[in-house]
Structure 1
Amino acid sequence: MSRFNSFQAFYPYYLSEHRNPKCRTLHYIGSTLVVGVLLFSVFSGQWRWLWLLPLIGYGFAWLGHFIFEHNKPATFKHPWYSLLADWVMFKDFLTGQLKHKMPPQ
């Protein structure tokens, strides 16, 4: 069972697992590529590319955790909150609500 009762309780934990700027950058690259492949597939009608979405999204993110953050991705224990949090973190970064360099905790 999850120790988080809400997404609002989970998100600060998620951010604490993404302190390394290189890890977050790999998340952002993966998210950007996911959007690009999704848009390409929708507008071109070439649905065969959609299988790449989880590979791209999780691949870049997990590399960031294993190489730079040295922790297990939150996806392993909290898959739905983690998926949502990744897109919220990306949105927060794009809108300037999340600074690229986070102070250590």
Structure 2
Amino acid sequence: MSQIDTQNSITTADAPTRANTKNDLIKTDKPAKQNFYDFYLEEHQNMACRRLHFAGSSFGLLGLAKSVKTRSPKPLLKGIAAGYACAWVGHFFFEKNKPASFKFPLKSFASDFRMYGDVLRGHLSLTDRKYDKARKSH
């Protein structure tokens, strides 16, 4: 077998592997970030829990704004404490589950503000899940 034949046979033999790898990459429906957000929304089905999360995130943002204005970290710390208190009350008393922030603190923090934005844009309801538009798979 010549060197050209050897290269062709290697290329041909590798082609299905490359194609399968490429197809496997293309078949991925959603990035991992979206999968976590879907999980996060599953953990926030109760409307009282969602409202408490929204209020808590608002307290956190107000604390941040006041900290910037006063150049003091105290309002931010108070806002964060109030925000987590609201969220945890929502989980323990209404949702009856453990907050995702216990296992995934950074992803949960980011997802909470994503949920906050979805509420502000009207993609998630604080009154009834049937009005939710943020998730395509219910």
TM-score (norm 1): 0.86
Q: 2:82 aligns with which of 53, 56, 59?
A: 56
Which residue is equivalent to 1:76? 102
Shift of 1:25: 0.3
Q: Deviations over 1:31-84 (max 9, x none)?
A: 111111110111122333222233112111000001100000011111111111
Moved over 3 A (4+): none
Tell me the C-alpha RMSD between the 2 structures. 1.6
Q: Please identify the structure whose Cα radius of gyration is greater.
A: 2
**What percent identity do the matched residue pairs reach?**
41
Q: What amino acid maps onto 1:44 in structure 2?
A: T
Equivalent pairs counted in the alignment come to: 100
Which runs of 5 or more residues in structure 2 are unaligned? 1-30, 131-137
TM-score (norm 2): 0.67
Which residue is equivalent to 1:34? 60
What does 1:5-44 correspond to in 2, within 5 Å?
6-44=32-70
Which runs of 5 or more residues in structure 1 are unaligned? none
* More relative contact order, 1 or 2 (CA 8 Å, 6+ apart): 1
- SS of the residue corresponding to residue 97 of structure 2 reads coil
